[in-house]
Amino acid sequence: MKITAKIIMILFALTYMLSANEVSANEKYMLVRLTGSQQAIASAMNLADVHIDHAIKKENYLEAWLSQTEFDALKKTGIQYQIMIWIGIHTIPISLK
């Protein structure tokens, strides 16, 4: 009986991990240009609890890859944005040379 309980717990854990991984794999991503000062963008993103780990920074804008979840939070901040590239779950990857 103990072995059966362990197997059930392992199967449950594996199912949970695979389903959680599938949700993030199906999320859409986009390259977004955020317009404004670096300080204003950083402040708004912190308030929205969106943390960018890598971005291209210019004097009056910032470009970063955001997930759909991060983008939805960004839209609520009032920061001006422009979607540069959008990649959905059925999009064929493009090689930029």
pTM of the model: 0.62
Domain of 66, CATH number, reads 3.30.70.260
- Model confidence at 24, pLDDT cuts 50, 70, 90, reads low
3-state SS of the chain?
CHHHHHHHHHHHHHHHHHHHHHHHHCCCEEEEEEECCHHHHHHHHHHCCCCCCCCEECCCEEEEEEEHHHHHHHHCCCCEEEEEEEECCCCCCCCCC
Total structural domains within the chain: 1
| Domain-embedded: residue 65 | yes
Render pLDDT for 34-60 as a digit per residue (tens, 0 to 9): 999 989 999 999 988 998 888 999 888
| Domain-embedded: residue 71 | yes
Which carries the bigger pLDDT value, residue 47 or residue 7? 47
Range of the domain at 62: 27-87
